[in-house]
C-alpha cells in the first residue's frame, strides 16, 4: 500500500518559554540549519541563544496562538492533510514534523505498521534549500533508520515551478487582491532568507526563488516597476540573502509609497513568519516610515487550488504507485 507523507517544519507545542526551549533547541541543533562548528555553536546556543530567544519567541507565538486550534502552522497542516485524504481515499495520508510533534519517527512507524510499503514524501518547501528541504529529507531518512521494515521511498522534487504550485499561488494572490479595499502601489514578494554564505557554498535556493518570482509576475502581468523580491526572517548577525524585506518596505515608505501588498510564495502555510513578522512587525516598520496600508498576503493554506496543486505534485511523483 502506498502512503503519502507531508513533511512540515514544525511548531512549538505551547507559546511559552517551556514550549519554545525544546523546539528551538531541536531546530537550532540541526547541522543543515546551523553550519557553525559545534564547539563554537553549542556554548553559544545553550548560554546565549536558548535562554533569551525562548522567552522572546514565546511572546511572539502568544500573539498568533488561536485559543482553540493553537499554532496556525499546525492547524493549516492538519487541514491540508484532511483535505488531501479526500483526494486519495485508497491511501493513508499523514503529516509529520521535522521539529517537535508529531515526530516523523512516530508517524512513519504507524504508517508502516498499518501496511505502507511504498511512501511518497512531500516536503512543504517549494524552493529547495539545504536548510529546509534537505533538513526534511534528513529527518525522514534518520527516522527510517529506526524501522525494521523500511518502505520504498520517493520524495517529490522541489516544486518551485510546478504548474500545480504556481496555479495555486496565482489563485490565492488574486483572491487576496480582489478583497483588498485599496489598490496596492507596490508589491513586495517576500521569501524566508538563508545565510549568504550558504548560497555561496552552493545552496541553489536563490535560483529557485527567482524562478518562482519570474513565473508569478508573468502570470500576474505585473510590470517590473510594480514589484520587488525580498528576503525576510534573518537570524543572527551574519549577512543573509538581500534585499531584506524590512529595508525595502522602509525605503518604499520613505519614497512616499502608501499602500503595499506583501506576497509570501515560499510559505505553504501561514505561520509566525507571515502573520507576526510581516503582518505586525514589518507593518510597523512600514507605518513608522510613513506608509499607510500594508497587507501580508495569505499563504497557500487550505485554498482548494492548493489542495489540487498538492494532488498534482504527488501524482507526478507517484506514477505507477497510485490509482
Ligand X SMILES: C=CC1=C(C)c2cc3[nH]c(cc4nc(cc5[nH]c(cc1n2)c(C)c5CCC(=O)O)C(CCC(=O)O)=C4C)c(C)c3C=C
Binding-site residue numbers for Fe(2+) are 192, 273
Partner touching 271 among Fe ion, ligand X, none, CB below 5 to 8 Å by kind = ligand X
For residues 282 and 295, give the distance between their C-alpha atoms in angstroms, rounded to a whole number: 10
When asked if residue 233 is in the footprint of Fe ion (CB under 5 A), the reply is yes
Partner touching 294 among Fe ion, ligand X, none, CB below 5 to 8 Å by kind = none
Q: How far is the CB of 202 from ligand X (least distance, A)?
A: 15
Q: How far is the CB of 272 from Fe ion (least distance, A)?
A: 6
For residues 279 and 193, give the distance between their C-alpha atoms in angstroms, rounded to a whole number: 17
For residues 129 and 98, give the distance between their C-alpha atoms in angstroms, rounded to a whole number: 14
Using CB under 6 A as the criterion, which residues of the chain lie in contact with ligand X when the complex forms? 9, 11, 24, 27, 33-34, 53, 57, 71, 73, 125, 129, 131-132, 192, 194, 205, 233, 235, 266-267, 271-273
Pick 270 or 277: Cβ nearer Fe ion: 277
When asked if residue 11 is in the footprint of Fe ion (CB under 5 A), the reply is no
Pick 108 or 130: Cβ nearer ligand X: 130
- Cβ contact 125:288 at 8 Å: no
In 74-85, which positions are buried (b, 16+ CB within 10 angstroms) versus exposed (e)?
bbbbeebbebbe
Q: Could you tell me which stretch among 70-78, 93-101, 179-187, 276-284 binds Fe ion (CB under 5 A)?
A: 276-284
When asked if residue 77 is in the footprint of Fe ion (CB under 5 A), the reply is no
Pick 107 or 275: Cβ nearer ligand X: 275
For residues 180 and 173, give the distance between their C-alpha atoms in angstroms, rounded to a whole number: 11
Partner touching 83 among Fe ion, ligand X, none, CB below 5 to 8 Å by kind = none
For residues 272 and 173, give the distance between their C-alpha atoms in angstroms, rounded to a whole number: 19
Helix/strand/coil percentages in the chain, nearest 5? 50, 15, 35
Sign of the Cα torsion 93, 97, 100, 103 reads: positive
Partner touching 73 among ligand X, Fe ion, none, CB below 5 to 8 Å by kind = ligand X
When asked if residue 131 is in the footprint of Fe ion (CB under 5 A), the reply is no
Q: Which residues pair with 131 in a beta bridge?
A: none
Pick 122 or 272: Cβ nearer ligand X: 272
Q: How far is the CB of 18 from ligand X (least distance, A)?
A: 15
Q: How far is the CB of 230 from ligand X (least distance, A)?
A: 14
- Kindly compute the dihedral angle of the four CA atoms of residues 215, 221, 225, 231, in this order, to the nearest 10 degrees: -30
Task: Tell me the three state secondary structure of residue 70.
Answer: strand
The residues binding Fe ion (CB under 5 A) are: 233, 273, 277
Amino acid at each position: 500500500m502506498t502512503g503519502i507523507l507531508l513533511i512540515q517544519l514544525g511548531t512549538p507545542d505551547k507559546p511559552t518559554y517551556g514550549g519554545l526551549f525544546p523546539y528551538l533547541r531541536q531546530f537550532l541543533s540541526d547541522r543543515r540549519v546551523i553550519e557553525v562548528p559545534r564547539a563554537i555553536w553549542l556554548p553559544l546556543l545553550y548560554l546565549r541563544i536558548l535562554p533569551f530567544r525562548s522567552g522572546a519567541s514565546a511572546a511572539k507565538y502568544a500573539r498568533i496562538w488561536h485559543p482553540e486550534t493553537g499554532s496556525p502552522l499546525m492547524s493549516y497542516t492538519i487541514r491540508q492533510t484532511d483535505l488531501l485524504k479526500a483526494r486519495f481515499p485508497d491511501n493513508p495520508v499523514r503529516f509529520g514534523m521535522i521539529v517537535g510533534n508529531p515526530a516523523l519517527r512516530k508517524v512513519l512507524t504507524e504508517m508502516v505498521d498499518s501496511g505502507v510499503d511504498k511512501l511518497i514524501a512531500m516536503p512543504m518547501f517549494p524552493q529547495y534549500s539545504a536548510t529546509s528541504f534537505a533538513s526534511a529529507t534528513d529527518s525522514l531518512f534518520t527516522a527510517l533508520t529506526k524501522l525494521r521494515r523500511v518502505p520504498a521511498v520517493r520524495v517529490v522534487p522541489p516544486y518551485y515551478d510546478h504548474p500545480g504550485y504556481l496555479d495555486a499561488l496565482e489563485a490565492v494572490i488574486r483572491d487576496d487582491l480582489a478583497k483588498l479595499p485599496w489598490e496596492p502601489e507596490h508589491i513586495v514578494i517576500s521569501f524566508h532568507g538563508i545565510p549568504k554564505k550558504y548560497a555561496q557554498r552552493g545552496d541553489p535556493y536563490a535560483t529557485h526563488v527567482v524562478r518562482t518570482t519570474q513565473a508569478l509576475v508573468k502570470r500576474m502581468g505585473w510590470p517590473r516597476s510594480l514589484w520587488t523580491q525580498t528576503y525576510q526572517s534573518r537570524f543572527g548577525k551574519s549577512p543573509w540573502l538581500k534585499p531584506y524585506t524590512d529595508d525595502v518596505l522602509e525605503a518604499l515608505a520613505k519614497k512616499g509609497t502608501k499602500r503595499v501588498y506583501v506576497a509570501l510564495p515560499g510559505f505553504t502555510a501561514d505561520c509566525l513568519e507571515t502573520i507576526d513578522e510581516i503582518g505586525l512587525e514589518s507593518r510597523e516598520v512600514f507605518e513608522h516610515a510613513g506608509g499607510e496600508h500594508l497587507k501580508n498576503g495569505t499563504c497557500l493554506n487550505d485554498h482548494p487550488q492548493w489542495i489540487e496543486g498538492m494532488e498534482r505534485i504527488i501524482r507526478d511523483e507517484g506514477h505507477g504507485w497510485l490509482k
